[in-house]
Amino acid sequence: AAFYLIFNVLLNLRKLNNNSIETMRSINPYTGQTIQDYCEYTPEEVEQIIIEVDQAFQWWKKTGFEQRSACMKSLQAKLLEKKNELANIIVSEMGKVKREAIGEVEKCAWVCGYYAENAESFLQKEPIKTEATEAYISYQPIGTILAVMPWNFPFWQVFRFLAPALMAGNTGVLKHSSNVTGCALAIEQLVVEAGFPNNVFRTLVIGSQQVKTIIKNPLIKAVTLTGSTPAGRSVAAAAGEALKKSVLELGGSDSYIILEDADIGYAARLCVISRLINAGQSCIGAKRFIVASAVYEEFKNEFVRLMSETKFGDPLNPDMSIGPLARIDLRDELHQQVEKSRELGATVLIGGFIPEAEVPYYPPTILENVLPGMPAYHEELFGPVAVLFRFENIDEAIRIANSTVFGLGSGIFTSDVETAKILSEKGLEAGCVFVNDFVKSDPRLPFGGIKESGYGRELSTIGIREFVNVKTIVIK
């Protein structure tokens, strides 16, 4: 509490002394009340922070895994100790229900513990047999990584970068979404409280307009972004121009195929869970449901029933299923996608309207008879809107599933696991496929997409190796 009080006093003093400084506002989406105004860091302040983080890297890269692991385990403990307090910050800034916010913080603790335990083995030297006396691969940190992160999972998106990056010996600077600045500063403070050396990880309170300049900074060695496809294109272009490594996790329009032999009740329940997590504001949330004709009506009826039972209200109320969307403009954009699809012939089974309340809530919505040319067919629906498709044969199901520019995740529900394996490996175009479950990220598994869902992978062995120098050493 003292940290935030001092920080805000300093920000206000800066604002008084420099009227040209821009401010960013954090607003509670459920109450509409302003939480805090933050003064944006000036370019000069940003440059000084990057210098300090690079200086920290020169020392941090020389530490052993034992010391890094001790700091990371301390960070894991801090997250669990303060999970209720941290969850309240998440709820107030972006509106997800409290139990999901607590789960998000707990997952951050999991990824910290996972890399604290496994980073050393993931990055150990790998001997290679050649004609030389000795040859091996050495994995070495590369420096300060810029992370550009979104608001929808304001802690998890950061920690799935932070934990492997710091355990690899890198340092990091975070440019978070302006509406979750409180979360960004809380993460920075947690790193300090966990005992990491000063400036190993810093938050930059800035808008998007400074990102390209930061990427060009020679002390920044790589960039990772989770966000929209347009944002990914912009960051990738800047990183490419600077010849720097980038990892992008972008949008998704995940397709779930429900085969005729699936357990329909089970499938419908998990599909609803996946569609409504975080009020539908999830890149890996199920969005397109492709159902075998023989069980289409059965699935639709159960899906409609479950979606209709969703309870909206105060996200701090444990009885609520979903909270509001993060901002009014996001709700309005989602409704425009639904309305345009309806005008072009789509059928709205439930939802599809803006409630009279000022809260940016959008009711669970289901569309069918959606065809190519409609927004609901081609675009990502970032909110609680589901699209139903019917298929007659498996080739048609795969064609519909792959008829999207995105390729993040997919799901299959069936009792024939062997068929599901074939479809997963050779049919579906996605970075991951979950059979008889909904798609979720897991520290133990690589996470990322293809096509316009981005490139590179986070998490697992592969994730920690994205931002290291894979150095070949040969001794004759």
Catalytic residues: 249, 283
Residue 314 CB neighbour total at 10 angstroms:
16
> Distances in Å between the alpha carbon of 453 and those of 243, 250, 404, 429?
21, 5, 10, 11
User: Which residues are bridge partners to 39 per DSSP?
Assistant: 23
- Where do the DSSP E strands lie in 150-219? 171-175, 201-203
User: Which residues are bridge partners to 247 per DSSP?
Assistant: 224
Residues in the chain: 476
Cα–Cα distance, 256 to 473 (Å, whole number) = 45
Cα–Cα distance, 455 to 405 (Å, whole number) = 13
Measure CA 279 to chain center.
14
**8 A C-beta contact, residue 472 and residue 135:** yes
Tell me the DSSP string of 307-345: HHT--BS-TTSTT-SB---S-HHHHHHHHHHHHHHHHTT
User: Which residues are bridge partners to 455 per DSSP?
Assistant: 248
Cα–Cα distance, 460 to 253 (Å, whole number) = 23
> What does the block give as tokens for 307?
């979606």
Cα–Cα distance, 104 to 86 (Å, whole number) = 10
Helix axes 65-81, 83-94, angle to 10 degrees: 70
